[in-house]
Amino acid sequence: MIKFSKDFDLKEQIKEYVLSTIGVMLTALGLVIFFIPNNIAAGGASGMAMILHKLISTVPVGIWMYIVNVVLFVLGFLLVGKDFSFKTIYSTFALNFFVDLFDRIINIPKYTGEDLMLAVFFGNVLTSVGMAIAFANNSSTGGTDIIAKIISKYFHTPIGTTLLMVDFAIGIFAGFAFNARIAMYALLAIIINGITIDFVLKGLELSVTMMIISKKVDDIKKYILEKMERGATILKAQGAYSGRDIDVLYVALKRRELGEVLNVIRHIDPEAFVIVTEARYVLGEGFRRVDKVV
């Protein structure tokens, strides 16, 4: 009989795997429809695979991605150590599978128009949203992340900067493999990709905190605790002008829950004083676990 640790949440794990799969599928669609047909090697294992495919065209891009990632994982295990979760390995090879599936087996329609800016834009929309969904569910698509970890370990460089430099190097090599115009579009795609992933991640993970000062704070607290099943904290404060002791209700919420709380406050105490602040991370019970943040 399989026993799980107390911290293991099967439903949460299944949800993360399902969402990670959807994320890598979207990324694969962006690569196959827009990037690969136009040779836009926008970093990562896919960019390396496109360059290798140009050199040895008998091997499809999807197969080259398998080869590149296997080599990188072996190097990673040898030089960095076993610092890779099963979910990262799963997501990496799931991306390879979907790229090969859509490119060779299903053979979905591809954009081969002359306007490469459209390919960069729509390719980035799909790949960035897909990668952001995977990242938000504690996955990674491997690839150049491993090269960046190896360089960072031995040269003590910031991993984010190193990753950007590795992807830029792939974009420059694309210029030698294809032409300078393709290289410039590849570099543009890398820049837009990083910005878009960060933007989408903020939207997926954004939470808010609220400070509520009200004469009916107990009624508001009761709704939040019982109806919304959210925690709250009572802060003891004193009015600067009145000198009276007051209770300040402090609560953290998902952004989508904000409207419900404001509507409740509006009905219970229209004169309540409310401060809403965006929070980059809220970690702990009811939100992401602290050990899940990369």
Find all residues with CB under 8 Å of 124, minimum gap 6, and list them: 30, 42, 189, 192, 193, 196
Q: Give the burial class of 122: count Cβ atoms within 10 A of its Cβ; 0-12 exposed, 13-18 middle, 19 or more buried.
A: middle
d(CA 107, CA 105): 5
Which amino acid is residue 223, in one-letter code?
A: Y
Of 20, 132, 150, 16, the closest CA to residue 83 belongs to 150
pTM of the predicted model over 0.85: no
d(CA 93, CA 95): 5
C-alpha distances in angstroms, 224 versus 221, 227, 271, 276, 286?
5, 6, 18, 15, 13
Let me know the angle formed at the C-alpha of 257 by 255 and 258, rounded to the nearest 5 degrees: 70
Q: Mind listing the pLDDT tens digit for each residue in 33-59?
A: 999 999 999 888 999 999 999 999 899
pLDDT of residue 159: 66
Q: How far is CA 268 from the centre of its chain?
A: 38
Query: What three-state secondary structure class fits 274?
Result: strand
Q: Which domains does the chain have, with CATH numbers?
A: 10-204 (no CATH), 206-292 (3.30.70.120)
Which amino acid is residue 94, in one-letter code?
A: A
Q: Mind listing the pLDDT tens digit for each residue in 263-274?
A: 889 889 989 999
d(CA 227, CA 167): 48
d(CA 244, CA 174): 69
d(CA 114, CA 209): 48
d(CA 273, CA 211): 8
Which amino acid is residue 104, in one-letter code?
A: R
- H/E stretch holding 253: strand 245-254
pLDDT of residue 291: 59
**Taking the alpha carbons of 252, 256, 258, 264 in that order, is the dihedral positive or negative?**
negative
pLDDT of residue 287: 65
**Which residues of the chain fall short of a pLDDT of 70?**
1-9, 81-85, 159-160, 202-205, 285-294
- H/E stretch holding 210: strand 207-213
Residues facing residue 238 across a β-bridge: 245
User: Residue length, the chain?
Assistant: 294
Pairing verdict, β 273-279 and 233-238: unpaired
- Beta carbons of 174 and 41 less than 8 angstroms apart: yes
Q: How far is CA 101 from the centre of its chain?
A: 23
